[in-house]
Structure 1
Amino acid sequence: MIEVLARRTAGLVLAALGAVVPVVAYTRLDAWDAELAGRADPSSTGLVDMLVGGIGIWGIIGTGLWWHRHRTTMWAIWTRWAAFPGLSLAVFTCLSIASRRNSPIALAIGAGLTAACWGLSEAVRFVMTRPVTDGLIASRLEIPFRVRGLKARLCVRHDRLVLDSLGSRRKRSRDAVAVPWQALRSIELVDVEQETVCRVLVFSGLPEANTREFDVTAGPALHILGTARELLVPVTNEVGRAVLRAVEARSAGVEVDEGELTEDEWRRRSGVRRTNALTHLQRRAGVHYRTDYRPYRLIPVAGFLLMPLFALSGMTLSLVTGSKNWQEQFYVVDGAVNPWNVAILATASIGFLYVLYRLVVKSFLSFMQGQDYIEAYPEPPARAKTGTVPRSGKRKKR
C-alpha cells in the first residue's frame, strides 16, 4: 500500500537523520575544539571513516528495524539507539570544550543536539502511527493508543490486542497481556459508573499465574472478553471508537477457537517446563518467572559466528574505500588480498551462518513464539478462568 510505504520511508529517513546528524555534529565540534586549541589537524578519523566504521552498528539497527517492521512503537527506540554512538561522542566533546576551553555555549549545543535526536525519534513514532487512517488500519502496522488514567498502553497489532506497560513505562514488554483474534469473544465500549479494579493474569512459570491489578475510574472503558482472560481498559470515547474500528477490521474473518487444550498441549505450545523439571540453576536464575525475559546469552554466540563474515566484509570495504587504516586492520597489503584468505573466510562464513541459523535464529524464533503464546494464555487451560472483571455500567452498542 502506498500509505504504508510512505510511512515506512518517512520513518527510515528520520531514523537515518537521527543516526547521521550526531556524527556530523561530532566532526564539526572536533574541528572547533582543534581551532580553539590551535591544532592544525582536528582528527585523524574523518566523517567517511566514522560512518564506515559504524557499519556493524548500522547493521544491528537495520536488523532491529526489520525484525520490528510491524511493531511501530519500537521504531522510536531503535532510532534512539542509532543516534547513541554519535550523540555520546558529540556530547562528550561538548563537555570537554566547556570545561577546558571555558565555552559555556558548548553545553547548550550538546543539550540542543540531545533534544534534536529525541525529537527525531518522536517524529518517527508520529509518522508511523498517526493519524489513524483506514489505510493504517488495513495494514499490518501496530497502532498504539493511550489508556485513560494509567501508565499502560493499548496496542492493536495485526493479530492481537495487547495491553502493556502494566509494570513500567520504561520496560514496555514487562507484564504484557494479549488477546489474539482467535481468542477474542467480544469487545465493547461500556460506561463504568463507579471506580473499580481490574485483575489480569500474567505468566509466572508456575501452575498458577500471577495477578496484576489496576484501577478503572468512572467513565468509558473497553470491556474485552477472551477465552483465557477478561480486561476492562479505561479509555476516552474517541480512543474507544478508534480501537473498536481497528479491531473489527483486523479480526474480520478470524474464527474464535473454542477448543479446550490439555495441560500437556499448553506446555508444548508455550515451551514451559514443569516446575519439578527445572534444574537447580534454572530455579535460582528465576528466568521462568519473567514475562519480559529475552535470551541475551545468544548475543555473544551470534557475534562469534558472525566474525568470519565481518572480516570478509571489512576486507572488501577496505578495498572499496581505499582506507589505509582499514587495510592495515584487515591485512590488505598494498591494495591486494591473499586469495587463500578470501577462500577460507568465505567458506567459514557460509558454515558459520548455517550454525547461526540452527543455534541462534531458530532458537530465538521458537522462544518468541512461546512468549507470544503465554501473553495470551498465562496458565494451563485447566486453571484458566475469566470473570476477573466485575460488571459495571451499561454497555453500549459497538
Structure 2
Amino acid sequence: MIEALARRMAGVVLVTLGATVPVVAYTRLDAWDAELAGRADPSPTGLVDMLLGGIGIVLIIGAGLWWHRRRTTMWPIWARWAAIPGLFLAVFTCLSIAEKRNAPVALAIGVGLIVACWALSEAVRLVMTRPVTDGLIASRLEIPFRVRVLKARLCVRHDRLVLDSLTSQRKRSRDAIAVPWQALRSIELVDVEQETVCRVLVFSGLPEANAREFDVTPGPALHIVGTARELLVPVTNEVGRAVLRAVEARSADMEVDEGELAEDEWRRKSGVRTTNALTRAQRRAGVHYRTDYRPYRLIPVAGFLLMPLFALFGMTLSLATGSKKQQEQFYVVDGVVSPWNVAILAVASIGFLYVLYRLVGKSFLSFMEGQNYIEAYPEPPARAKTGTVPGSGKRNRKR
C-alpha cells in the first residue's frame, strides 16, 4: 500500500534524524570543549571504532524496525533507543563543559537535546498512527486507540484486536489480551448505564488462567465477544466508531471459527508443558510463562554464532580504512590478509549462520507464535462467551 509505505519511510527518516542530531551535537560540543580548554583539536576518536559501533547500532535498530514493521506502537521506542548512544555522549559532554569550564549554557543545550530527541520519537508515533485514514485501515499497520479512564490501550492489528497496558504502561506487553478475527463473535458500541467491573483472563502457565479486573464507568463502551473471552472496554464515541470501522474492514473476509478446542490441541499450539512437568521453582516463580517474557537467553547464543561474520567484517573494514590498530586486532599483517584466514572465516560464517537460523531464529519464531496464541486463548479449552452486556441491558448482536 502506498500510504503504508509513505508512513514507514517518514518514520525511518525521523528515526534517522533522531539518531543523527545528538551525534552531530556531540562533535560540535567536543570541538567547543577543545576550544575552551585551549586544545588545538577535539579529542581523537578512532574512525574504525565509530564505524563498527555505528554500523552495529544501525543493524540492531534496523532489525527491530523490520521485526515490528507492522507494530507501529514500537517505532517510537526504537527511535529512542536509536538516539540514546549519541545522546549519552552529548549530554555527558554538556555536563563536563558545565562543570569544568563554568559554562551553564551547556546544561541548557543538554536538556534541549533530550527534549528534541523525545519530540522526534513522538513525531514518529504521530506519523505512523495518525490520522486514521481509509488507507491506514486498509493497510496491515497497527492502529492504537486510547481507552477512556483506564491506563490500558486498545490496538487494532492486522489479524486481531489487542488490549494491553492493563497492569503497566512501562511494559505494555504484560498481561496483553487479544481477540483474533477468527475468534471474534461480535463487537458493538453500547452505552453502560452504571459502573461495573470487567473481569478478563490472562495466561499463567498453568491450566487455570489468572484473573484481572478493571472498572468500567458509565458511558460509551465497546462490547467485544470472542470464543475465549468477553470484554467491555470504555471508550469515547469517536474512538468507538473508529475502532468499529477498522475492525469491520480488517475482519470482513475472515471466517469465524466456531469449533471447540481440545486441551491437547491447546497445549500443542501454545507450546506449554503439562502441569506435572513443571518444576517447583517454575510453579512458584512463573517467570517463564508471563505474557511479556522473551527468551533473552538466545541473545548470547546469537552473539557467539555471529562472531566469525563480525571478524570477517572487521578484517575488511580495517583494510578499507587503513587503521593499524584495527588491523592488529583482526590479524591483518602489514595490510596483507591471509587467504586461509578469509576462507576459514567465510566457511565458519556460513555454517554458523545456518546454526543461528536453526537454534535461534526458528526457536524465537516458534516461541512468539505460542505467545500470540496464549494472548488470545489463556486457558484450555476455548469456551464461547454469550450473554447480556454488563450494565447496559442490551443483548449481543452477531457481526
Q: Give 1:156's aligned residue.
A: 156
In the aligned structure 2, how far is the partner of 1:284 from the partner of 1:352? Answer: 37
Any conservation in 2 of the 1:179–1:376 contact (CA below 8 Å)?
Answer: yes
Query: Relative to structure 2, which stretch is displaced further, 142-151 or 38-47?
Result: 38-47
Any conservation in 2 of the 1:198–1:388 contact (CA below 8 Å)?
Answer: no
Unaligned runs of 5+ in 2: none
Any conservation in 1 of the 2:19–2:83 contact (CA below 8 Å)?
Answer: yes
Q: Give 2:374's aligned residue.
A: 374
SS at match of 2:295: coil
Q: Give 2:67's aligned residue.
A: 67
Matched, 1:106 2:110: no
Matched, 1:304 2:304: yes
Any conservation in 2 of the 1:199–1:389 contact (CA below 8 Å)?
Answer: no
Question: Alpha carbons of 1:373 and 1:105: their partners in 2 closer, same or farther (altered >3 Å)?
Answer: same
Percentage identity across aligned positions? 87
Q: Give 2:359's aligned residue.
A: 359
Question: Alpha carbons of 1:178 and 1:4: their partners in 2 closer, same or farther (altered >3 Å)?
Answer: same
Deviation for aligned residue 1:47:
7.1
Letter in 1 for 2:227: T
Letter in 1 for 2:90: A
Q: Give 1:45's aligned residue.
A: 45
Q: TM-score, normalised by structure 2?
A: 0.95
In the aligned structure 2, how far is the partner of 1:383 from the partner of 1:143? Answer: 28
Q: Give 2:131's aligned residue.
A: 131
Deviation for aligned residue 1:278:
1.1
Q: Give 1:291's aligned residue.
A: 291
Mapping of residues 146-295 of structure 1, within 5 Å: 146-283=146-283, 285-295=285-295
**Deviation string, structure 1 residues 292-324 (Cα, Å, up to 9, x no partner):** 111101101100111111111122222233344
Q: Give 1:116's aligned residue.
A: 116
In the aligned structure 1, how far is the partner of 2:195 from the partner of 2:281? Answer: 44
Any conservation in 2 of the 1:191–1:393 contact (CA below 8 Å)?
Answer: no
Letter in 2 for 1:167: T
**Deviation string, structure 1 residues 155-206 (Cα, Å, up to 9, x no partner):** 0000000000001110010000000000000000001111111111000111
**Deviation string, structure 1 residues 338-360 (Cα, Å, up to 9, x no partner):** 11111111111111111111111
Letter in 1 for 2:292: D
In the aligned structure 2, how far is the partner of 1:149 from the partner of 1:273? Answer: 38
Deviation for aligned residue 1:24:
1.3
Q: TM-score, normalised by structure 1?
A: 0.95
Q: Give 2:2's aligned residue.
A: 2
Letter in 1 for 2:150: L
Any conservation in 1 of the 2:137–2:250 contact (CA below 8 Å)?
Answer: yes
Any conservation in 2 of the 1:198–1:389 contact (CA below 8 Å)?
Answer: no
Mapping of residues 310-389 of structure 1, within 5 Å: 310-381=310-381
In the aligned structure 2, how far is the partner of 1:42 from the partner of 1:365? Answer: 46
Question: Alpha carbons of 1:138 and 1:286: their partners in 2 closer, same or farther (altered >3 Å)?
Answer: same
**Deviation string, structure 1 residues 4-37 (Cα, Å, up to 9, x no partner):** 1111111001111111111111111111111111
Count the aligned residue pairs: 398
Letter in 1 for 2:89: L
Mapping of residues 84-99 of structure 1, within 5 Å: 84-99=84-99
Any conservation in 1 of the 2:260–2:383 contact (CA below 8 Å)?
Answer: no
In the aligned structure 2, how far is the partner of 1:120 from the partner of 1:66? Answer: 19
Any conservation in 2 of the 1:146–1:152 contact (CA below 8 Å)?
Answer: yes
Deviation for aligned residue 1:394:
4.8
In the aligned structure 1, how far is the partner of 2:307 from the partner of 2:279? Answer: 33
In the aligned structure 2, how far is the partner of 1:42 from the partner of 1:288? Answer: 48
Deviation for aligned residue 1:250:
0.4
Question: Alpha carbons of 1:34 and 1:267: their partners in 2 closer, same or farther (altered >3 Å)?
Answer: same
Deviation for aligned residue 1:110:
0.5
Aligned CA-pair RMSD: 2.0
Any conservation in 2 of the 1:190–1:220 contact (CA below 8 Å)?
Answer: yes
SS at match of 1:54: helix
Matched, 1:26 2:26: yes
Any conservation in 1 of the 2:387–2:395 contact (CA below 8 Å)?
Answer: no
Question: Alpha carbons of 1:190 and 1:382: their partners in 2 closer, same or farther (altered >3 Å)?
Answer: closer
**Deviation string, structure 1 residues 214-261 (Cα, Å, up to 9, x no partner):** 111111110000000000011111111110010000001101111111
In the aligned structure 2, how far is the partner of 1:235 from the partner of 1:393? Answer: 18
Unaligned runs of 5+ in 1: none
SS at match of 1:242: helix
Question: Alpha carbons of 1:372 and 1:345: their partners in 2 closer, same or farther (altered >3 Å)?
Answer: same
Any conservation in 2 of the 1:231–1:389 contact (CA below 8 Å)?
Answer: no
Letter in 2 for 1:64: G
Query: Relative to structure 2, which stretch is displaced further, 5-14 or 51-60?
Result: 51-60
In the aligned structure 1, how far is the partner of 2:339 from the partner of 2:291? Answer: 49
**Deviation string, structure 1 residues 73-110 (Cα, Å, up to 9, x no partner):** 00110111111111111111111111111111111111
